[in-house]
Structure 1
Amino acid sequence: MVKAVVLGAAGGIGQPLSLLLKSNPAVTELGLYDIVNAPGVAVDLSHIATPAKVQGYLPPDDGLKKVLTGADVVVIPAGIPRKPGMTRDDLFKINAGIVRDLATGIATTAPKAFVLVISNPVNSTVPIVAEVFKKHGVFDPKRIFGVTTLDVVRASTFVSEVLGDLSLTTSVTVPVVGGHSGVTIVPLLSQSSHPLPSGLQQSTVDDLINRIQFGGDEVVKAKDGAGSATLSMAYAGAEFAGKVIRALKGEKGIVAPTYVNLAADKVGGEALKKELGKDLEYFSAPVELGPNGVEKINGLGKITPAETVLVKAALPDLATNIEKGVTFVQVPKL
């Protein structure tokens, strides 16, 4: 029995994400919550012939508490989307408050649930969730994840395009480490399951890295002010949630890049900090998942000098993003 909950279920990411979770046969109960339309989305999904029982809730009558009761996995895509010219950091002022309030509900109702944060900027919103949990005395770094899977999905797709064979997209895997915005996104192309051609021009490689790092901008521009990456993010969120659920149910050997508190694995986390040469509290790295969440944080592995430069370039922004999230919760509201 697995109860999955989507907070922000009526939004551009929330609706397709809820559809994909309803399609997952491992999900036996699906709870949807939003400030509008969640009951309607739930009724719509309830007509789909899969086992999950679906219920939708709104804020009145303790809707947040009701939807979270008994939750095993909580996915948070709630918040406003990115618009043209807007960075993930620009989203912070609005989305930080939304995430803080939802995290408070989880901490008080379902503190043992796995929390999967999609709301941007992930580099800051994951620390917000952690700090809220700390304030309530229920913080477990093994159970809070920043969903960076979209960066992995993009890397796999774009590498397949460079290789000239989109049929490879389901088999190409490229580790992506760091964070989930701009230069903090570091694709380790040297570790791709399908290596790039040795004769590839450096400019092509640089363009590929830039496209992986700023793929979100490509979507925002193409949608011409009508939204950001919603469908691809929903797909990526469902992919990661599926892996968490499989690990929860006892499947072994599941490894996925995800943005976590490095205290989740003290040995692996400390080793990674030494690799980075910086005492960061959060970082996206390949993580082995288990029934209790984070089982092991893996290091960067063998990376090229060029990738080392990319990792070093990511660290200052990451440190600033993390501090912004921590401070948001720690500083009293005026």
Structure 2
Amino acid sequence: MGRKKIAIIGAGNVGATTAHWLVSKELGDVVLIDVEEGMPGGKALDLLEASPVEGFDCMVTGSNDYREIDGADVVVVTAGIARKPGMSRDDLVKTNAKIVENVTREAVKYAPDAIFIIVSNPLDVMCNVALEASGLPKNRVFGQSGVLDSARFRTFIAMELGVSVEDVSAFVLGGHGDDMVPLVRFSYAGNIPIEMLMSREQIDRIVERTRKGGAEIVNLLKKGSAYFAPAASTAKMVEAVLKDKKRIMPTAVYLEGEYGISGLYFGVPAIIGENGVEKVIEIPLTSDEQIALEKSSRAVEKTLKVLKSSV
């Protein structure tokens, strides 16, 4: 049967770090693809030379040639320009749409049976671009954002309470942006609702920090954007696919009526396994949560309109 094959399109910080997490878990052989000559090969060789130290038996290669991804089981798309201080994710839309469209078309030629996981920003809209460019069914094209946003939310809850992150569960719905919806009602520490452990003021502060989590890192770094946590979150989704784990994850999926939303990629809980998005899970929301979700969906729709008006 052989090892699984994972293609990562875009060998920048997110792509290369995703490769690092993937091989550390021995999830499969990794091919890094990038337009910059020599760079993906250099990063791949560097990572491969860590294998005797860390003890992973995965091949890591890098190339400018899409033929190298032939037969990949999963394609991760991280290609695109990164945010700079003062930029919203939406500022990236026109530039990254062209990049994502081109790389998806190339990748699907050589990996027509792959599951595509999109990481490029603005995430929800880039998933729409990739779906159209690939011609694949919607279950095989989805986006990584909710796992990252939920990880940030969990991190801040654990920090506030002074407890292990392992005992904190939480998830975030909605578009990957400032209008995302951290679901406080479904967030727990040690199986205790966080509303019993924190004041409303503490919770509101953490929710706001979660929404601005990406921008906080962009502003601190000055150059580039977050990559350790986005890459780890992406690797977790790849693992769910390759091991057919049936994980329930907040995922950017193409909705056709669920949660009252149609024709958009949007972050909702979904079961992720070998067929990609295997089921969207609908949960009843309070009126306040529904209003917040509708606000988030309008923000995604607005970005999609910006893109379509520029085509």
Select the residue among 263, 272, 279 that pairs with 1:296: 279
Change over 3 Å in CA distance of 1:77–1:279 after alignment to 2: closer
1:208 corresponds, among 203, 206, 209, to 206
Q: Tell whether 2:227 aligns with 1:230.
A: yes
Residue identity matched to 2:120: S
Closer, same or farther: CA 26–230 of 1 in aligned 2, 3 Å: closer
Where structure 1 has 5 or more consecutive residues not aligned to the other structure, the ranges are 263-268
**1:254 is matched with which residue: 237, 247, 250?**
247
Distance 1:76 1:171, change over 3 A: farther
User: Counterparts of 1:5 and 1:158 in 2: how far apart (Å)?
Assistant: 32
Q: Is the 8 A contact 1:75 1:118 kept in 2?
A: yes
Distance 1:93 1:279 in 2: 22
Q: Which residue of 2 aligns with 1:154?
A: 152
Partner of 1:94: 95
Alignment-derived partner of residue 103 in structure 1: 104
1:69 and 1:297 map into 2 onto residues whose CA distance is: 30
How far apart, CA to CA, are the structure 2 residues paired with 1:291 and 1:241? 9
SS of 1:4 mapped into structure 2: strand
Give a deviation string over 1:26-70, Cα, whole Å, max 9, x none. Answer: 31x211111220111111122213121121102xxxx01x22201
Mapped to 2, the partners of 1:199 and 1:155 lie a distance apart of 15
1 CA distance for matches of 2:105 and 2:156?
38
* 1:326 shift after superposition: 5.7
Q: 1:261-318 CA distances to partner (integer Å, 9 max, x unpaired)?
A: 12xxxxxx53x2xx43x4343221111123211211001x243443233212212112
Which structure 2 residue ranges, 5 or more long, are not aligned? Answer: none
Deviation (angstroms), 1:199: 6.8
* Cα displacement (A) at 1:197: 3.9
Alpha-carbon offset, residue 198 of structure 1:
3.0
Task: Write the distance in 2 (CA, Å) between the matches of 1:210 and 1:305.
Answer: 20
| DSSP-derived class of the 1:258 partner | strand
Instruction: Tell me which amino acid in the other structure corresponds to 2:95.
Output: I
User: CA shift at 1:325, angstroms?
Assistant: 5.0
Output the amino acid matched with 1:244. V
1:203: Cα distance to partner? 2.8
The amino acid across from 1:243 in the alignment is A
Q: TM-score, normalised by structure 2?
A: 0.90
TM-score of the aligned structures, taking structure 1 as reference length: 0.84
For the 8 Å contact 2:77–2:120, the answer to whether it is kept is yes
- Paired residues of 2:188 and 2:194 also in contact (CA < 8 A): no
In 1, distance between residues paired with 2:41 and 2:57? 18
Q: What is the distance in 1 between the residues matched to 2:125 and 2:68?
A: 25
Instruction: Confirm or deny: 8 A CA contact 1:282 1:322 kept in the other structure.
Output: no
Q: Do structure 1's residue 42 and structure 2's residue 37 form an aligned pair? A: no
Look up the SS of the partner of 2:243 in the other structure. helix
Question: In 1, are the aligned partners of 2:100 and 2:130 still within 8 Å (CA)?
Answer: yes
Structure 1: how far apart are the matches of 2:205 and 2:81?
A: 29
- Residue 57 of structure 1: aligned partner: 63
Question: How many residue pairs align between the two structures?
Answer: 299
Do 2:32 and 2:44's aligned partners in 1 also have CA atoms closer than 8 Å? yes
User: 1: CA distance between counterparts of 2:16 and 2:194?
Assistant: 36
Matches within 5 A, 1:161-176: 161-165=159-163, 167=164, 169-176=165-172
Partner of 1:32: 32
1:99-138 residue pairs with structure 2 within 5 A? Answer: 99-134=100-135
Quick check: 2:33–2:63 contact (8 Å CA) kept in 1? Answer: yes
SS of match in other structure, 2:168: coil
* Alpha carbons 2:93, 2:303 under 8 Å: kept: no
SS in 2 for 1:17: helix
Change (3 A) 1:280 1:208: farther
Give the secondary structure class of the aligned counterpart of 1:281. strand
> Taking structure 1 as reference, are residues 326 and 128 closer, same or farther at Cα in structure 2, changes over 3 Å only?
farther
| Residues 268, 280 of structure 2: 8 Å contact kept | yes
Secondary structure of 2:252's match?
A: strand
Retained in 1: the 8 A contact 2:84–2:224? yes
Q: Are positions 1:140 and 2:146 aligned together?
A: no
Q: What SS class does the counterpart of residue 116 from structure 2 fall into?
A: strand
